[in-house]
Chain A
Amino acid sequence: MKTFNTMLKTEIKLSLRGMDMFIFAICMPIIVLVMLGIIYGNKPAFAGADYTFLEQSFGAIATIAICAGGFMGLPLVVSDYRSKHILKRFKVTPIKPTIILLVQVTIYALYSLVSLITLLTVATIFFKFRIQGSISQFIIGWLLVMVSMFSIGMMVGGISKNSKTAGIAASLLYFPMLIFSGATLPYEVMPLAMQKTVDILPLTQGIKILKSSTLGLPTVSIIFPICILAIITVICSTVAIKFFKWE
């Protein structure tokens, strides 16, 4: 526990000194929220809908920080520590690799949480946002999305050969999911054919869960996405831990 706390404290400081996560995980979601708020105002999502466009998009925007942490932060920091031989130095100490991963996961979870809280605050105050469905369901869904996306990132960071491979893999995950899963560009404005295509992205499924709980839609429709995310989590975290490379 002492190791975990000390490492967490130091790694948070290091991460804040780097600034990029602050920009991509904290500032960027707010910018997207405010832009959608200004463009669509409090208009209903479609004619006759009993929720606004912004309420419909909230679940998606709440995953931007998760994306930044899971697909950029996590894989890059782990592979960077490997290529700088920091993990090699850790290997000749009693520390367990799971602690190193857990510290990083905690940091990005904290970023995601801070982002969620600031988004909720801004949306509630300026855009009369409220969660119409169950709050507990939203929280559980948000946690599931986070855990599953982070497990993908941990796997990529844990097994990629060097920082270059990790960087490419991270970009291949981050940009498509950020743009096409509905996190920034709303799913609803996409043509039907495009919607069908982006449905294969895990994050699209995750956003469906969040959307359903924000808007109070029937739970039946999200059983499939929940299963998909659970399977991803199990597979990716097993691979990450089993095939973790120090060098």
Chain B
Amino acid sequence: MEDIIKVENLSKSYGELIAVNDLSFSVKKGTVFGLLGANGAGKSTTIECVLGTKTFDTGTVWILGLSPKANRKELFENIGVQFQEANYQENIRVEELCEVTASFYKNPADYRKLLLEFGIADKNKALVKELSGGQKQRLFIILALIPNPQVLFLDELTTGLDARARRDVWQILQDLKNQGLTILLTSHFMDEVEVLCNKISILKKGNIVFHGTVKEAIENSPYAKLEDAYLWYTDEEVSENENL
């Protein structure tokens, strides 16, 4: 299987602080790759370096065989992105935001269908700023799907969603994955990671402390559940204290 995303020896520091240290990973077509780690571990920085919205110090990044810096216009025709923080114009309505986003692409998806699928079609005329947290989150996943992307980047995709909505989003993403969509996501929810991710990398202070499948992550730790294993990888000192 071909590598859709390929990151080699990526490093990025903010002054003295090393945010990402010599990171390498690749994501194969039709798979979901999860970047895990505590807040400030370097997840968002990694995503932004990969997308080219942040410049990195050293390393190489390829998406669909193209460089996000040099081939921006061509590449982003096929990429959907959902950032952690919502960013939209002050007085824009849901359908206006969708319409403008769709106008950026040659073959956009029908955003009305997506609004229906995600259960916010009735908010069509509402101002985006008046949506609830969960509705906004769903809208931003829709915006990421409007390009009909081959690769999807989701930064904390289900934060702010209720249990039902999370399940629905998972189902939609599973279906898209089965159709060949490649996804890179970050998440704080281990149940979500277990359901969606084929491979994960656990980040700690900018370094990868584990890379592999969810099953391997559990097997290589003294625990039986991913959440415990994850905490063991990211927070060894605390775990050791607990063992005393």
Contacts and interface: CB of A to CB of B under 8 A. Distances in A.
B53 A13 contact: no
B51 interface: yes
A215 to B, nearest CB: 42
A3 B53 contact: no
B32 to A, nearest CB: 19
B3 interface: no
A6 B89 contact: no
Contact of B100 (A10, A84, A92, A96): A10
Interface stretch (B35-43, B91-99, B157-165, B229-237): B91-99
Contacts of B147: 93
B76 A92 contact: yes
B53 A94 contact: no
Contact of B91 (A18, A81, A84): A18
B54 to A, nearest CB: 8
A84 B79 contact: no
Contacts of B87: 84-86, 88-89
A86 B101 contact: no
B223 interface: no
Given A94-B76, A246-B53, A3 B92 contact: no
Contacts of A3: 103-104
Interface in A212-247: 246-247
A2 B103 contact: yes
Interface string B145-166: 0010000010000000000000
B85 interface: yes
Nearest to A7: B100
B105 interface: yes
B101 A93 contact: yes
A94 B101 CA distance: 10
B154 to A, nearest CB: 12
Nearest to A85: B87
Nearest to B89: A14
Q: How large is the interface on A (under 10, 10 to 19, 20 to 34, 35 or more residues)?
A: 20 to 34
Interface string A85-120: 110111111111000000000000000000000000
Interface residues of B, number: 28
B242 interface: no
A2 to B, nearest CB: 5
Given A86-B87, A88-B83, A93 B96 contact: no
B189 interface: no
B148 to A, nearest CB: 13
Contacts of B92: 10, 14
Contact of B81 (A13, A92, A96): A92
A196 interface: no
Contact of B53 (A5, A7, A84, A92): A92
Given A93-B105, A93-B147, A86 B99 contact: no
Most interface-central of A91, A92, A95 (chain B CB within 10 A) = A92
Contacts of B103: 2-3, 5-7
9 contacts: A6-B102, A7-B100, A10-B96, A10-B99, A17-B91, A91-B53, A92-B81, A93-B105, A94-B73
In the A-B complex, the 10 residue pairs with the closest CB atoms: A6-B103, A85-B87, A92-B81, A17-B91, A93-B104, A3-B103, A94-B73, A94-B76, A10-B96, A95-B104
Interface of B: 51-53, 72-74, 76-77, 79, 81, 83, 85, 87-92, 96, 99-105, 147, 153
Given A85-B85, A91-B52, A94-B73, 7 more contacts: A14-B90, A18-B90, A86-B87, A88-B53, A94-B77, A94-B104, A96-B73
